[in-house]
Amino acid sequence: MNLFTESNLSPDILKAVGELGYESPTEIQKQTIPFILSDIRDLIALAQTGTGKTAAFSLPILDMIDDTSRKIQFLVLCPTRELCLQISKDIKNYSKYMKDIKTTAVYGGSSIMDQIRSLKDKPQIIVGTPGRVIDLINRKALDFSAIHWLVLDEADEMLSMGFKDELETILRETPETKQTFLFSATMNKEVERISKNYLTKPHRISVGSINEVKKNIKHEYYVVGYRNKKEALKRLIDANPNQYSILFCRTRMETQEVADFLMQNGYAADALHGDLSQAQRDTVMKKFRLKNIDILVATDVAARGLDVDSLTHVIHYSLPDDPEVFVHRSGRTGRAGKDGISISLIKPEESRKLKQIKSTTKIDIVEKIIPTGQEVIKAQVGGVFEKLFTEHEDIFEFDDSLIPDLNAFTKEELVHKLLQFQLKDLALYYKDKHDLVEQKFSSRDDDYPRRDRDRGRDRDRSRGDRDNRSGDRDRGGRERGGKPRRKNEDMVRFFFNLGKKDQLKKLDVLDIINKATTPAGGSKKRAEIGDIEILEKFSFFEIEKSFKGELLNNIASMKFKGKDMRAEEAN
């Protein structure tokens, strides 16, 4: 089956598929569609994100579904609300000309009563998240007694998110005569156990391998210390103009911190993570799909189900622990035959983690050096012309007589002036910026990173300038009052979610730390406090390492001027 028209799918489905621009099926579609149309066995299909799995399972089932019945015949379970909505939308597009087919999406974060009312339309197809499906089963709003087909989409992700019990409950609610299709990117132990317990002698289809996701993707990594990480990120974004990217972070707090940094520096960015309300998440994703923002800062879980084919870059601000997560992230760019770039920011101590990713995935991840200010400006000049030559739609009209006489300038002089005008602010920012420290990994696992001497001296001078400017230390490195400052290894640095906009001052931070680390009786010695840095929307502070657990346990239950407080280890 090299073309959809060569399949046995009905004319109504082929018409809808053709209007969507589908001509040649992907590899997973080539193998899955004929199998489902002709075989009654269960199926395990292993394929990476973005390979066309939704069409692979839904097109043949739509071809066989009984549109005269008003019972639920087809159930799709998926891990997130976003993916649920995406699958539901795709199925509705595929069944556009099947007038009697109804599809309903059920998911958390929206009114369950509205969803119960929508079920009164008697849909034949349900797409849902496990938690909401269980809620509706308990309310007797869903009847799965007539199900013929059950799809577990992204089964590995559902299990990693803790839906094992919900999946098993739902599977027990469905008839044994159904046909079950398990789609997953990986075959871990939990997925294997689910398949053994709930699938009967399944046929297996495996499309590609973990390595094939790197097709059309160039992988780069940059070694940078923690304190230079945001500046390095800024340079990499500026050195890759006109990008449309997802930037991945490990935690919700880090995600918001990085997004705030980018927005404060004038980038069209926003955050997507679990602390946002559903309405906020919907707004952010809508802005990203419409390209009103071009950098989405997200956690891995929040980005699930966000299906965008035109990403130019994926940026790993923090490396994941699992090499396969690295592959999933990177695979979001380089889709639909386009080229993509995967950029990783690596702390010096993460050399072993990077080696593990390279060894497991067999991906050639090339080390690069953080661009200099001059290199950034050069890339920006190229970006101006790239945008000029690719975006030439006439948006408005004006009288050519408004253009002044330019005969006094050569073509080159005129372009030079326009570029100076366009890139003035960026050039001024980088004018006096020294190069960031170049750090390279040795070929030996246990070697420490080697630093370029000249750049190291620049860094040391910068650090000395910063120390000399500090108002809290004298030249001997002592805090006010003559007490010697503790070495950094005895301190731990925290990210704090409040800042200047919350009317937070250093004295407030000192008071908060003391209250969070001192028992009610006050008999225990107080924690030693290091640097305090208050920014617009968040802050950083350092305290004695032995008080770390105490602070984390107590600060979450405290409030500052009625606002919740959150702290998280920053380094």
Contact between 334 and 212 (Cβ < 8 Å): no
Please provide the distance, in angstroms rounded to a whole number, between the alpha carbons at the two ends of the chain: 53
The helix (H) or strand (E) run that includes residue 160 is helix 155-160
Of the pLDDT bands very low, low, confident and very high (cuts 50, 70, 90), residue 71 is: very high
How far apart, in whole angstroms, are the C-alpha atoms of residue 472 and residue 481? 10
Taking CA 201 as the corner, what is the angle to CA 61 and CA 64, rounded to the nearest 5 degrees?
15
Report the top-level CATH class of 472-569: alpha beta
How far apart, in whole angstroms, are the C-alpha atoms of residue 209 and residue 199? 23
Q: Among the listed ranges 179-188, 296-305, 500-509, which one has the minimum average pLDDT value?
A: 296-305
The pLDDT tens digits for 244-288 are 999 999 888 899 999 999 998 889 999 998 788 878 888 898 899
Q: CATH 3.40.50.300 region(s) of the chain?
A: 4-208, 212-371
What mean pLDDT is reported for the chain? 82
Inform me whether the pLDDT recorded for 383 exceeds 90.
no
Q: CATH 3.30.70.330 region(s) of the chain?
A: 472-569
The CATH number for 212-371, chosen from 1.10.1380.10, 3.40.50.300, 3.60.9.10, 3.30.465.10, is 3.40.50.300
- CB atoms under 10 Å from CB of 101, counted, come to 21
Reply yes or no on domain 4-208 having CATH 3.30.450.20: no
Inform me whether the pLDDT recorded for 485 exceeds 90.
no
Q: Among the listed ranges 23-27, 104-108, 476-480, which one has the minimum average pLDDT value?
A: 476-480
Q: What's the pLDDT at 525?
A: 66
Question: What sign does the CA torsion over 19, 20, 22, 28 have?
Answer: negative
The pLDDT tens digits for 318-376 are 998 888 788 888 888 887 668 899 999 998 888 889 998 998 888 999 999 998 878 88
Q: What is the mean pLDDT of residues 89-113?
A: 94
Q: What's the pLDDT at 452?
A: 42
SS3 for 305-317, per residue?
Answer: CCCCCCCCEEEEC
Query: Does the global pTM surpass 0.75?
Result: no
Q: In what order do the strands lie in the sheet with 125-128?
A: 103-106, 125-128, 74-77, 149-152, 179-184, 43-46, 203-206
